[in-house]
Amino acid sequence: MAGSGVRGTAMRSRAGYRYIIKVFEAQWDQLHEETVKPFFEQLKRDTEDTYARRNGYKRTRPGHDALFSYVVFQNSEGLKDALARPDQGVDNRAKIAYIACHGERGKISAVRDISRTKLKNIIAPLSSYDGIFFGACDFVTRRTAEVLLENSPHLKWVAGYGHWIPWLEGMICDLIFFRMLLSGRFVRPKTNARWDPIGRPEDAAFRVYEEYPLAQDLRFSLFCRYRDGVVSTLERYERQSSGPTGQVAVL
């Protein structure tokens, strides 16, 4: 994007990398139901199918593990232990934490609340995560993103919602983002179909606004660290959309 400044080394192209999504779901109440797990299981199946199509239906290991693990947590200690748990067989794959929970300005909630400060202290020492996506209402504001990114030297991006969101509409937005990141953008040429690759998380977020315009009303944004500060995809998208040409450029 013109005028975006010089990229930091943390935002270099991730071509050739495979992503692992680690799902952490809060216990919503005393009778916990696995609300997000079935959606990510379907994402895994679709991702594997797309990979097979690209490779002539060869029965080889998929290029992405769309669901590497699923854990339920109740409080800050449970989330801390789950995030820090070592993984076997990761190789060079970049891990993404998806945290499904209730959210408010300045905190997320499971059985007990977890403040933004406490969450910052949990995330700061982690070195194996590329980014964190919060499937929660209201929590991911610019202030939250700056607190988490500026105190976590290894973390490259934070994504989520700045407003209250209806559960299903938010889940659809989450899945579109991960579908874009894992498989690319769906296009249908004159015959058959294909998925154009998307190299970086911030590019996937930009595509979400085009494919699912409701994402803007939900205030979905991915914040990433550049040399000139923390950048929001939503702010960039809205600024470009209101420009003189009306054309939107990808970050």
pLDDT of 8 strictly over 60 = no
pLDDT of residue 149: 96
pLDDT of residue 5: 37
Measured CA to CA, the distance from residue 148 to residue 156 in angstroms comes to 10
pLDDT in tens, 224-244: 988 889 999 999 999 998 765
How does 136-150 read in b/e, with b if 16+ C-beta sit within 10 Å?
bbbbbbeebbebbbe
pLDDT of residue 9: 33
Highest mean pLDDT among 5-14, 83-92, 151-160: 151-160
Q: Confirm if 238 and 197 have CB atoms less than 8 A apart.
A: no
Residue showing tokens 């797309």: 50
Distance between start and end Cα atoms, the chain: 5
Neighbours of 232 (CB within 10 A): 22
pLDDT of residue 65: 66
Which is higher by pLDDT, 90 or 218?
218
DSSP readout, the chain?
A: -TT--PPPGGGS--TT--EEEEEEEE--SSS---SSHHHHHHHHHHHHHHHHHHTTT-----S-EEEEEEEEE-SHHHHHHHHH---SS-TTPEEEEEEE-EEETTEEESSSEEEHHHHHHHHTT--SEEEEEEESSS---HHHHHHHHHT-TT--EEEEESS---HHHHHHHHHHHHHHHHH-EEE--SSS-EEE---SHHHHHHHHHHH-THHHHTTEEEEEEETTEEEEHHHHHHHHHTSSS------
pLDDT of 88 strictly over 80 = no
pLDDT band at 18 (very low <50, low <70, confident <90, very high): confident
Determine which of 13-17, 64-68, 129-133, 200-204 has the lowest per-residue pLDDT on average: 13-17
pLDDT of residue 14: 39
pLDDT of residue 165: 95
pLDDT in tens, 124-142: 999 989 999 999 999 999 9
pLDDT in tens, 94-109: 899 999 999 999 999 9
pLDDT of 181 strictly over 80 = yes
pLDDT of 182 strictly over 70 = yes
Which is higher by pLDDT, 194 or 106?
106
pTM value? 0.85
pLDDT of 87 strictly over 70 = yes
pLDDT of residue 102: 93
The predicted model gives 25-35 an average pLDDT of 78
Q: Confirm if 213 and 241 have CB atoms less than 8 A apart.
A: no
pLDDT of residue 28: 77
Per the prediction, the chain carries an average pLDDT of: 84
pLDDT of residue 60: 56
pLDDT of residue 188: 77
